[in-house]
Amino acid sequence: MISNQEGKMDHNYALIMAGGSGTRFWPLSRGQKPKQFLDITGGKPLIAQVFDRIRNFIDVDRIYVIAGNSHKKAILEALPSMNPGNLILEPAARNTAPAIGLATVMIHAKDPDAVMAVMPSDHHIGDNEAFSNVMKAAFKAAGDAVIVTLGITPSRPETGYGYIRKGGSIGKVGVFEIFGVDAFVEKPDRARAVDYVMSGRYLWNSGMFFFRVREMMREIETHLPVVFEGLQKIIDPANRNKFTEMLETVFEKMPNISIDYGIMEKVKGIRVIPASIAWSDVGSWASLPEVCETDGRGNVIIGDVVLIDSDNCVIESKAQIITAVGLHSTAVIVTGDSVLVCPLDRTQDVKKIVAELEKKGREDLL
């Protein structure tokens, strides 16, 4: 524990969730290089952007990363300034509840007064200063609540995100108002999404949330007793000499369950802090115009490209030049071994291509 600028003991910790896999950014993303490790936006890998953003107000020694065993090398490469001792490797993928539980007990063992921020490693935030401000407020708010989630004020009726329905106002932290949470709501259809945005009562669920580790352990004990029991075995000081072995044995047997389903939707007294920041979960190639610069006709252009009479396209080359004429709302992605062409309203189906390549035994491309 070190002191923060104000001279008080600083118990703020961050956990970056880097266990994600997925194929929606194929051909850039591969089995060994999922989205968080990609410089999709033409700059640093998303996970490095998240790390740098958090470093602005949390010391690197209190920033943890959790990921699958197989991504150890990718993480240390993407985050050269992280403390390698803070990299937690899951021996098996068991969804977010066991992963966050594991980090929680480990941080609790080090600092029982810790307040933890959980952050996805593969989202984009456009405004670092506004983000810092709301993060600080959320850490403070988490001191009085069980869990505080970050909700994004929606800028459009997005059907690709889950929503949070605000309850009544609880009070303020600085300029930020804190609300109760009425409900977590699944991805809506278009009509519902429009209603949500019009009502002013709904926020996008950012997947970022804050809690005291002590509180979270209690909630896990209550709602996920099997997980809690496993975590206790792993963290038991009596097993200290065989931590890795215990972790492997116990984690393997954990139930596969998400923090949303296992904890968030069950905890009473959860709160939400709304933030008006540019945020995107960068869910597919179609989301690039939200997170990258566009030209005068709405095109995202990365790499060697000649584009004529085309608009609202996402054109990215890591290899030879891409040329197009008369193209509209289409993604063209080129790597050294693959070319992908897909209308932007079909980018969620890139996984079908990956499935077909698997079927054809094209492991070289996966």
Binding-site ranges for its own copies (CB under 8 A): 27, 306, 308-309, 317, 319-327, 330, 332, 334-343, 345-346, 349-350, 352-353, 356-357, 360, 362, 365
Q: Of the two residues 183 and 339, which places its CB atom closer to its own copies in the complex?
A: 339
Whether 63 and 51 have beta carbons less than 8 Å apart is answered as yes
Least distance to its own copies from the beta carbon of 263, Å?
36
Torsion of CA 300, 350, 157, 138, to 10 degrees: -80
Q: Of the two residues 237 and 336, which places its CB atom closer to its own copies in the complex?
A: 336
Least distance to its own copies from the beta carbon of 290, Å?
21
Q: Of the two residues 198 and 341, which places its CB atom closer to its own copies in the complex?
A: 341
Q: Of the two residues 87 and 342, which places its CB atom closer to its own copies in the complex?
A: 342
Residue type, 324: A
Residue 262 to residue 231: CA distance in whole angstroms: 15
Sign of CA dihedral 303, 366, 123, 287: positive
**How far out from the chain centre does Cα 199 lie?**
27
Residue 66 to residue 64: CA distance in whole angstroms: 7
Sign of CA dihedral 117, 123, 129, 130: negative
Least distance to its own copies from the beta carbon of 344, Å?
10
Residue 41 to residue 288: CA distance in whole angstroms: 7
Least distance to its own copies from the beta carbon of 330, Å?
7
- Residue 19, both tokens: 């266990």
Residue 269, by phi and psi: left (phi above 0), alpha (psi -120 to 50) or beta?
A: left
Q: Of the two residues 170 and 324, which places its CB atom closer to its own copies in the complex?
A: 324
Residue 228: φ, ψ to 5°: -60, -45
Whether 116 and 15 have beta carbons less than 8 Å apart is answered as yes
Least distance to its own copies from the beta carbon of 334, Å?
5
Sign of CA dihedral 165, 264, 185, 285: positive
Q: Of the two residues 233 and 318, which places its CB atom closer to its own copies in the complex?
A: 318
Q: Of the two residues 242 and 362, which places its CB atom closer to its own copies in the complex?
A: 362
Least distance to its own copies from the beta carbon of 339, Å?
5
Least distance to its own copies from the beta carbon of 74, Å?
23
